Every structure is written in structure tokens, then in C-alpha cells.
Amino acid sequence: MEGPSWSGGGAYRGMCSAYLADLAPGDVFYGYVRVPSPPFRLPADPATPVILVGPGTGFAPLRGFLEERAATGASGPAEVFYGCRHPEHDWLYREELRAWEDAGVARVHTAFSAVPGHPFRFVQEAVAAEADRLWELLEDGAHVYVCGDGLRMAPAVRKALAAIYHDRTGGDGDRWLRALEDEGRYQQDVFA
Ligand SMILES: NC(=O)c1ccc[n+]([C@@H]2O[C@H](COP(=O)([O-])OP(=O)(O)OC[C@H]3O[C@@H](n4cnc5c(N)ncnc54)[C@H](OP(=O)(O)O)[C@@H]3O)[C@@H](O)[C@H]2O)c1
């Protein structure tokens, strides 16, 4: 990563990416692969639908998922929910996400908290609005990933999903979500 420094003084060079970019073929690079605990990974079968919710910096791991799905030609549907304040100010990887949408890698649903008149302020509202589609995918075995703020956003998204279940079955949405977690079908990577 490299670009004009936000301070206005010179260029910014990302520490890791600049180091990697300066390596020559044959150089030795020391690193290790960390296995997340609890596991946080895409379903083994690329045909399995995925529901990805990651506003703000929460989009980071989901970006990796989408890159992987694009590279491997994963065939299952992917519904992405991204939220930020304003599409012109803090929409991370906007062009990449749009390109994946155009290529059919994912459908993208947005929430903008600082755009008056946008249909959704927060991602959980967009999730609720897509209830029929998400329920269809969940019945088809979809895996759900929620990344980002664990204090307010993740519980609110969880509540929206529980409501989808309750509205359609009359059952206890929390219990249903706990069962999905036990099956590894509801995974969170959140910070508090
Ligand atoms: N500890 C860590 O590991 C870690 C990792 C990454 C980031 N952070 C820090 O965490 C803070 C948040 O960063 P972020 O990028 O995740 O989010 P963010 O940029 O602060 O917010 C992303 C979007 O979520 C909205 N939002 C606010 N409350 C919400 C709610 N209750 N439910 C759903 N969406 C809500 C925000 O709207 P509003 O306009 O209303 O705010 C905004 O549109 C930053 O200060 C960041 O540096 C910490």
C-alpha cells in the first residue's frame, strides 16, 4: 500500500506491503499462518450460500472471503451487507465490491448512517428488509458471518436474524441461532 500521506507531508508506505514489495525473487521471508480460534472460515463446499455482514472495518475479513470466492469461482450465492457513514467518505473497498457485484460474485446491500433518505441507516435494517431472501438461503444451509463492532452492531444483527426465524416459524430465534453456532454456521469476528 502506498499513497500521498494524509498529513500532506510526503508519501505513506504501508509497513508490511512496502516490505513485501521490496523483496526480490529468492529472498527469504519469515512468517507463519495463524489458525483462528474459534475457526472463522468459508464453508468447505463453495456451493453453500453465505451471508456476510461487516460494516466499517468489519469488512476486512469478508473482503478476504470474497477474494477467495472470486478466485475459486464459488457458485453459491453471497449476500453482503456493508455499512458506513457516507459512500463518498468512508466506504472501504467500494470499487472492489462493485466489481464483485458486477461479476456476480455477490449481491451488495448498503446502509449509510449519514445519508438522509437512504433506505437503511444501519446494516441490521438492511438485513431485516432482505428477510425473505435470507430465509430462503438459510433454509438452503447458508453460513452467516458477522464482523466488526461487537458491542452494538453484532447484537443488533443477531436480533434481526432471530426475528426472521421467529416470524416464519413462531420458534425461539435465540435458540435457533445457538444451534447454528454449534453447527459452525453462524460465526462472528467482532471487537468490543
Ligand atoms: N478493537 C479492535 O479490534 C478494533 C478493530 C477495528 C476497529 N476498531 C475501532 O472501532 C471503532 C469503530 O470502527 P468501525 O470501522 O467498525 O465502525 P465505524 O466506522 O465507527 O461505523 C461503521 C458504521 O456502523 C454504524 N453504526 C453505529 N452504530 C451502529 C449500530 N448500533 N448498529 C449497526 N451499525 C452501527 C456507523 O454509524 P454512525 O454514523 O452512527 O456511527 C457507521 O455507519 C473505530 O474507532 C475503530 O478504530 C477497533
pTM assigned to the model: 0.88
> What's the whole-number mean pLDDT along residues 88-116?
96
pLDDT of 180: 97
50-53 and 11-13 strand pairing: unpaired
143-149 and 186-191 strand pairing: parallel
pLDDT > 70 fraction of the chain, expressed in percent and rounded? 100
CB of 85 sitting under 6 A from ligand 1: yes
Locate 143 and state its grid cell: 453460513
Please state the atom number of ligand 1 nearest to the C-alpha of residue 148: 16
Confidence category of residue 83, pLDDT binned at 50, 70, 90: very high
Residues 6+ apart with CB under 8 A from 54: 60, 61, 62, 80, 81, 82, 145, 146, 147, 148
Residue 62's domain is classified under what CATH number?
A: 3.40.50.80
- Whole-number mean pLDDT of the chain? 95
Shared-domain flag, residues 17 and 112: no
> What's the whole-number mean pLDDT along residues 60-70?
95
* Bridge partners for 53 per DSSP: 81, 146
The identity of residue 49, as a single letter, is: P
Shared-domain flag, residues 17 and 109: no
Flag whether pLDDT at 45 surpasses 80.
yes
Shared-domain flag, residues 82 and 66: yes
Confidence category of residue 168, pLDDT binned at 50, 70, 90: very high
pLDDT of 36: 75
Spacing, Cα 61 to ligand 1 middle (Å): 15
Contact 188, 157 (CB under 8 A): no
How many domains does the chain fold into?
Answer: 2
pLDDT of 152: 98
pLDDT of 137: 98
Shared-domain flag, residues 54 and 104: yes
Shared-domain flag, residues 78 and 12: no
Query: 12-38 pLDDT, tens per residue?
Result: 988 888 888 889 999 998 888 887 777
Range of 10's domain? 1-31
Contact 42, 65 (CB under 8 A): yes
CB of 122 sitting under 6 A from ligand 1: yes
pLDDT of 49: 98
Shared-domain flag, residues 17 and 95: no
Spacing, Cα 149 to ligand 1 middle (Å): 6
Shared-domain flag, residues 147 and 106: yes
Residue nearest to atom 30 of ligand 1 (CA): 153
Shared-domain flag, residues 118 and 173: yes
pLDDT of 39: 80
Which SS3 state, helix, strand or coil, does residue 186 take?
strand
